[in-house]
Amino acid sequence: MPGFGSHGFEFVGKAPWIFWVLAVLLFANSIAGLVAVPLYEHFAHRSLGFDDHFLEIQFTLLALIGLVFLIYRKQVRYVYRGRKRD
pLDDT tens, residue by residue, 13-38: 888 999 999 999 999 988 888 877 66
Per the CB < 8 A criterion, the answer to whether 80 and 6 are in contact is yes
Per-residue pLDDT at 51: 62
Top-confidence range, 20-29, 40-49, 73-82: 20-29
**Residue 84: inside a domain:** no
Per the CB < 8 A criterion, the answer to whether 70 and 3 are in contact is no
**Residue 15: inside a domain:** yes
pTM: 0.71
**Residue 19: inside a domain:** yes
Per the CB < 8 A criterion, the answer to whether 19 and 68 are in contact is yes
**Residue 2: inside a domain:** no
**Residue 37: inside a domain:** yes
Lowest mean pLDDT among 27-31, 42-46, 68-72: 42-46
Q: What is the C-alpha to C-alpha distance for residues 84 and 53, in angstroms, rounded to an integer?
A: 43
**Residue 48: inside a domain:** yes
Domain of 20 in residue numbering reads as 7-77
Number of folded domains that form the chain: 1
**Residue 52: inside a domain:** yes
